[in-house]
Amino acid sequence: MDACRPLTLDDIPRMVEINEQGLPGTGKVSEEEMADLLSLSELALGLDNERGLAGFVLCLVPGTRYGSLNYAWFNQRFKQFLYVDRIAVADEARNGGIGSLLYQRVIAHAHRLDCPVTAEVSLRPPNPGSVRFHARHGFDEIDVFETGEKAVTMYIRKAN
């Protein structure tokens, strides 16, 4: 498996495809929305395997124009953070350590910024795999945020 690499606009179609495989946990986005997210990201990494892009992560810092309600929730409560907007691994590459490798890079980047890592996990509909994944990587539950029929658990991994 190759090392993590910066994502480019050429990765957008595959990123959307991988994102679709993670629904509903990842949140549906178009190619245009994914390109915009990429442009707003402080950290945008992909990991390739023999078949190409196998997983990716997009992270934002506070104060961008991103319209996500979950991101806004963290903006209202924290001055500094590295927000994991989405982490997604292709179906055929799951359970191979790709998500953990990506999160190691996210955590290292947050350490350089001296800030916590924030993320949310779908509670309604439930995403128990993601709950376990975040617990393994040192995240603590801090609140539940409900918007209509959806609810998410808000997580933080404190700065080391």
| Residue 144 CB-half CA count within 13 A | 9
For residue 76, the model assigns a pLDDT of: 96
Question: Which residues neighbour 39 within 8 Å (Cβ) at sequence distance 6 or greater?
Answer: none
Q: Provide the residue ranges of all domains of the chain, joining segments of one domain with +.
A: 4-157
Read off the pTM. Answer: 0.94
Consecutive 10-residue runs of the chain (160 residues): their mean pLDDT?
A: 85 95 77 96 95 95 93 96 95 90 96 97 88 94 91 91
Fold (topology level) of 4-157? Aminopeptidase (3.40.630)
For residue 25, the model assigns a pLDDT of: 64
For residue 2, the model assigns a pLDDT of: 53
Q: What are the phi and psi torsion angles at 61 (to 5°)?
A: -100, 170
Task: Kindly give the residue spans of alpha helices, DSSP state H, lying in 22-157.
Answer: 31-40, 69-77, 98-113, 128-136
